[in-house]
Amino acid sequence: MNQILDCPVLGLTTEFPDQLFVLRHPPTGKYGCYSHEGIHGLASFTDEAGAYRFSEHIGLNGLICEAVSFDEAREIAKQRPLPIVSLMLLDDLRTPKIHYVR
């Protein structure tokens, strides 16, 4: 029997905070990203401490943490090259919240 899902696309009803923290590498213009179950996205966090903990797993010196609005984070994610297709809230890496931007 066919079943209609309440939310067929993950992340459409997920609430994101108004302010997020992202990691940026000023010399290259790169941002911290993450892949979860084949979905690639811009990594974001609700606090600086979470972002800096995540930066320890990235082999790139000179990363800085920037506070951005949700809308700014969406625009940064949209500007990333494919395969980045989402904004990910990674406060818990096992269950990220995913917001698709394309």
Total-model pTM: 0.84
pLDDT category at 63 given cuts 50, 70, 90 is very high
- Residue that is written with structure tokens 């993950």 in the block: 10
Inform me whether the pLDDT recorded for 59 exceeds 90.
no
Phi first, then psi: what are they for 81, rounded to 5°? -70, 160
Give per-residue pLDDT as tens, 9-55.
444 455 799 999 999 999 999 999 999 999 999 999 999 999 999 99
Among residues 61, 69, 63, the alpha carbon closest in space to that of 21 is found at 69
